[in-house]
């Protein structure tokens, strides 16, 4: 839901041409942090000179520039010419192109639901069991990523279609290290400790949390992330998956319980800046600013890795602001360290030799490390050198991702739009406004049942 917002609005972008060695951001062999051995090995065994690879993806603006800098290495290693294109309405454009019989070789999309629909119509190419096994063995929480890219094909059988590349992290709590130090607070390691800290801050005369659900027509979405995180910390991944697919209803006790876990933080006037009634009316972009006032209006803010974009100008992440992993319950050790996030999946929509080689290239450290060394890139690939991350905060986020025992994609983004980007949002607004979790869940389920 936030992905479209953060990508912004831009015109169709097109880039073509083979990169020359001089254009490479980091010259092979010069910086020992990169896995140049994998670069040279891949270069020796893959010759695509004279061929062209077409890629259609969601990245525009700065992200497109970064992606160009990455696939320049693929061009250098193989001699292929890459043509990358995107569109402001890329979700609709890929459907049009595939239905018209003119798909790109590679399509990269951040919507598993859309990919599942394309797979069911026969528009995606099976990446093969070997690629699924590679991901299971080489990605942290590997089976989670395999499941994310596995859909039913036109034949009704499950196939591995989506290679996850570039992840986003949501299970974070932001805070000011100075404020914590001044008050003598320590970063909690368990949910029980987080709740105890919340109560201690109130006892000390402070306000623990800033929470804002406001987002114009998308108001309510931040609460869905809270609920999803609570589902992963109170239920097994299998139950989470059943919920997302409507195999158990919103009215199931597991879901109602997760909503009330969010409510423990958000519906207590003493716990939230401005009181519970301010939660729905506070814009999510303004909400974290309370961390930086003197004295602080709040001490913690749960939000995804993108939120520093809305911190006060000049705020240095890692110094003025930092984050910790939203912890699991000590009382539920079997659930491990679950992580909620999002990301993009690479698929083959036209089966060509260059497309197959590109998927193999994504299994090399260089395909990840070049973007890691710049910005806005996290990976669960255990074979990369974490020291290539551009800065300490990115490295820390990467470690949270690679320490995850379970990864699950943003659940609301995988639900039908009328639910995940509709009834779920409005239900959360009603909930913080005073409606019970059971009643809100019944309303959302009624909306889901009405979908034909």
Take residue 414 and report the two structure tokens written for it.
């995988």
Q: What is the pLDDT of residue 232?
A: 98
Q: What percentage of the chain carries pLDDT values higher than 70? A: 95
The overall average pLDDT reported for the chain is 94
Same domain, 220 and 163: no
pLDDT digit string, tens, across residues 81-140: 999 999 999 999 999 999 999 999 999 999 999 999 999 999 999 999 999 999 999 999
Same domain, 159 and 241: no
Q: Residue 450, class by beta-carbon neighbours within 10 Å (0-12 exposed, 13-18 middle, 19+ buried)?
A: exposed
Same domain, 37 and 140: yes
Q: What is the pLDDT of residue 4?
A: 39
Question: Which has the closest alpha carbon to 38: 378, 356, 363?
Answer: 363
Helix axes 253-266, 237-244, angle to 10 degrees: 100
Same domain, 211 and 297: yes
Average pLDDT estimate for 216-234: 97
Q: What is the band of 405 on the pLDDT scale with cuts at 50, 70, 90?
A: very high
Q: Does the pLDDT at position 313 exceed 70?
A: yes
What is the number of structural domains in the chain? 2
Same domain, 88 and 227: no
Same domain, 154 and 33: yes
pLDDT digit string, tens, across residues 318-373: 999 999 999 999 999 999 999 999 999 999 999 999 999 999 999 999 999 999 99
pLDDT digit string, tens, across residues 133-153: 999 999 999 999 999 999 999
Same domain, 425 and 297: yes
Q: What is the pLDDT of residue 21?
A: 39
Q: Does the pLDDT at position 13 exceed 50?
A: no
Same domain, 385 and 426: no
Q: Does the pLDDT at position 401 exceed 90?
A: yes
Same domain, 331 and 350: no
Q: What is the pLDDT of residue 8?
A: 35
Measured between alpha carbons, how far is 136 from 147 in angstroms, rounded to an integer? Answer: 10
Measured between alpha carbons, how far is 79 from 20 in angstroms, rounded to an integer? Answer: 10
Which pairing describes strands 52-56 and 106-109: parallel, antiparallel, or unpaired? parallel
Same domain, 290 and 152: no
Same domain, 200 and 320: yes
In which domain, by residue range, is 26 found?
Answer: 2-169+342-409
pLDDT digit string, tens, across residues 162-207: 999 999 999 999 999 999 999 999 999 999 999 999 999 999 999 9
Question: pTM for the full model?
Answer: 0.91
Measured between alpha carbons, how far is 107 from 94 in angstroms, rounded to an integer? Answer: 8
CATH number, domain containing residue 186? 3.40.190.10
Same domain, 146 and 219: no
Measured between alpha carbons, how far is 265 from 362 in angstroms, rounded to an integer? Answer: 41
């Amino acid at each position: 839901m936030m992905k479209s917002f953060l990508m912004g609005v831009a015109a169709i972008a097109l880039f073509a041409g083979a990169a020359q060695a001089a254009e490479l951001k980091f010259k092979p062999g010069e910086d020992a942090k990169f896995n140049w051995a994998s670069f040279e090995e891949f270069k020796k065994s893959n010759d695509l000179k004279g061929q062209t690879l077409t890629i259609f993806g969601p990245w525009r603006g700065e992200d497109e520039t970064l992606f160009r800098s990455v696939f320049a290495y693929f061009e250098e290693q193989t001699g292929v010419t890459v043509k990358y294109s995107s569109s402001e309405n890329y979700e609709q454009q890929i459907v049009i192109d595939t239905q018209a019989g003119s798909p790109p070789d590679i399509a990269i999309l951040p919507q598993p639901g859309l990919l599942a629909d394309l797979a069911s119509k026969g528009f995606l190419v099976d990446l093969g069991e070997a690629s699924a096994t590679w991901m299971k063995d080489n990605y942290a929480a590997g089976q989670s990523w395999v499941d994310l890219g596995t859909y039913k094909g036109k034949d009704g059988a499950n196939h591995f279609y989506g290679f996850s590349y570039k992840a986003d992290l949501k299970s974070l709590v932001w805070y000011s290290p100075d404020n914590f130090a001044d008050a003598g607070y320590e970063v909690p390691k368990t949910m029980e400790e987080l709740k105890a800290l919340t109560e201690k801050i109130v006892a000390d005369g402070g306000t623990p949390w800033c929470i804002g659900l406001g987002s114009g027509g998308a108001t309510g979405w931040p609460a869905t992330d809270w609920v999803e995180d609570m589902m992963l910390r109170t239920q097994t991944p299998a139950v989470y998956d059943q919920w997302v697919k409507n195999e158990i209803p919103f009215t199931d006790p597991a879901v109602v319980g997760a909503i009330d876990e969010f409510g423990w933080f958000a519906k207590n006037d003493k716990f939230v800046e401005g009181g519970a009634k301010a939660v729905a009316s506070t814009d999510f972009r303004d909400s974290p600013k309370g961390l930086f006032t003197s004295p602080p209006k709040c001490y913690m803010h749960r939000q995804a890795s993108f939120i520093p974009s809305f911190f006060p100008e000049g705020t240095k992440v890692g110094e003025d602001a930092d984050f910790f992993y939203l912890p699991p319950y000590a009382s539920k050790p079997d659930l491990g360290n679950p992580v909620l996030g999002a990301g993009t999946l690479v698929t083959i929509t036209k089966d060509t030799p260059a497309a197959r080689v590109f998927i193999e290239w994504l299994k090399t450290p260089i395909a990840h490390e070049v973007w890691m060394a710049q910005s806005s890139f996290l990976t669960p690939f255990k074979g990369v050198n974490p020291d290539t991350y551009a800065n300490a905060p990115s490295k820390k986020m990467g470690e949270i991702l690679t320490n995850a025992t379970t990864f699950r994609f943003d659940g609301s983004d995988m639900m039908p739009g009328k639910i995940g980007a509709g009834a779920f949002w409005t239900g959360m607004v009603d909930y913080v406004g005073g409606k019970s979790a059971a009643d809100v869940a019944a309303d959302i389920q009624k909306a889901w049942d009405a979908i034909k």
